[in-house]
Structure 1
Amino acid sequence: MTSNGVTFLEKEPFLRLFNRNGYVLDFGTERFDDFTQESIGVRLCDKYRLSKGRSLESFVSEASADQIWKLFADLLKYYESFYIQEDASDAKYGLLYQKCKQVLSSHSTEARKAEDSNSMYFNVIIRADESFPVENERIFEETVPTVAARFKNPDGTPNFELLRTLPTITSPEYADNSSAIAQIGYLGADLSQYLNSVVASFPAVKLNRILASTRWRGLRTRWMVFEGDPYKMLGDLRNNYNPVQSEAVLQFPNTPINNKQIAVMMPFNPAYPTPDMDPVYGAIKEAATQLEYECIRVDEIQRPTDITQDILKLIEGSKIIIADLSGANPNVYYEMGLAHARGRIVVPISRDKEKLPFDNSHIRTIFYHADDKYSLNGLTEQLVKALKAL
């Protein structure tokens, strides 16, 4: 590795392709200096007082990596546009050309990864009807063109494989006086545009901090991509509301989050007197065990305390909440709502063939068969995949 970070094996193919016994392709001295001035801001022959080829070699030995790669890329474009036919009958230069393309492509990929690691982007998806995905024509509306270009395929269509890796905010359309609720989390692998996992819920009007410069704010269905940290741009999501000071207001206990604890909210089946006898809970617990999580259901708490306080403490102290929506049990829906409001990751599950209420149909739900233990193995496998993705 040289001091500028460009290795001998990386730069040598370019020097052999461009340096023709002291000449650089078909450039005259003046035109070569004009070219390098435009490319990297330096007239090489004027600077080094050497031949074009030797000036190029001297520059490559001491310039910064960014300057070297910029000049190599520009010279390769020139070669492809004006000189490649001169080498059509020479296999040696054909191989050098292919090697240069390979090295440049590899460098571009690594540079992109490095840039990506220092940059953060996120989706904002607003829909009038959250049961329908945003049409492709409205994806990247009100998105900075250079940002949109990062998440497009070569044919200009949205690259959903890249987009779904970003933090994503979803919201119904809303007005400034609306009570609509937005959510932030991560998309699933399908094209439904539902959140696979929800990190937090918050009033949709908070999105105005992000959408202040847009034309429509919350009044138009579209999919936008922004650069930045959504959590910093939205503000503290833990302080979404100013609670009324009253004994009638639900008070959560001051319990630290255990990142390896999963709370399970599910209807209790009288056919199974204890949690360990419930096969559905057993399938959930098996998934948690495989990934070294502790799985707790409220009726496993053995202490003479108020069950409501036990539920609140369990939600407050858990990173993940698994909610079984089977049978539309109102207690489970209530507890799931509390978990969303507290900013916990919620993973809904339900028996297959059950229709979810509209307000929950936009949240990705794991459906399972409960016919026998072999069917429930599928629930365990799906939960393991979902938990690994968090």
Structure 2
Amino acid sequence: MYNLLMIYSGWEGARDSMPLSRVFEYTAEDIVERYRSDAGIRFDDLIRLPCLFMAEGTGPEIARVGRIFEYRVSGNEVVIEYGFDQTVPSLLNSTIFAHKRDFDMPHDFEFSRGHWAVKDVDLFKVLLGVTRSHRQRPRVFNIAEHESIDASLISIMMPFDPVLLPVFETLRAMATGMRLRLRRADDMWDNEAVIQDVVSLIDRSRVVIADCTGRNSNVFYEVGIAHTLGREVILIAQSANDVPFDLRHLRIVEYQNNQEGLVALRDILENRIADLLGR
């Protein structure tokens, strides 16, 4: 059994509060009866349970495991002093949402309302089952433990060829017009290893555009990384023959590297990116 404490903005300090009216929301009635008496809520017993501290949401929000040390009822709220268990890794709300029934959170709308629930499952047993299946991490580059996607960032993977500079300039102007930022790996110098800069850029990007023109092996490698990281990838090429066989089942935007062709490319990508961003 564990306490699920959900608030709008997340748990950052050592003291926070919860409206008394939100305590026991999304809690089975038999559990409510166990922790309620004629005198009110039995907080002395509740704070003995482990706690999962979450912010509202089903995406990149970070959840932590911890405990409540002290409490006091003040008016219509209960004020708690708490701390996180540093031996238990944090996890993303998206991970919890993917395993919501294991956490006894079967209702989607529970992730969008601040409340204090008591769940009749073994929190640590669930955490063990969720985290033990993590795959081996890469050795030739590093990826962050948690995603940190920049919603305004688009990355372009393309050969560093002067002939393709008009393509890059066209796409950068498109991004600026959409109030987005377009970057490519040679814009960056954050790490000693170039591949780490490339991976970091892809990992932070909302959308990745990959120009397969010229069958550049680096671009193909970067497309594989982007697909593995689950990014939205838009493939472009001056000829469909430049796209590897394993990728030809995907939609490919063919273009011509001239004024008319680049205008058409900009229009197509602008519409596609707007759809991906929900604009």
TM-score (norm 2): 0.48
Q: TM-score scaled to structure 1, two decimals?
A: 0.35
Q: Answer 1 or 2: which has greater helix percent.
A: 1
Point out the structure with the larger strand share. Answer: 2
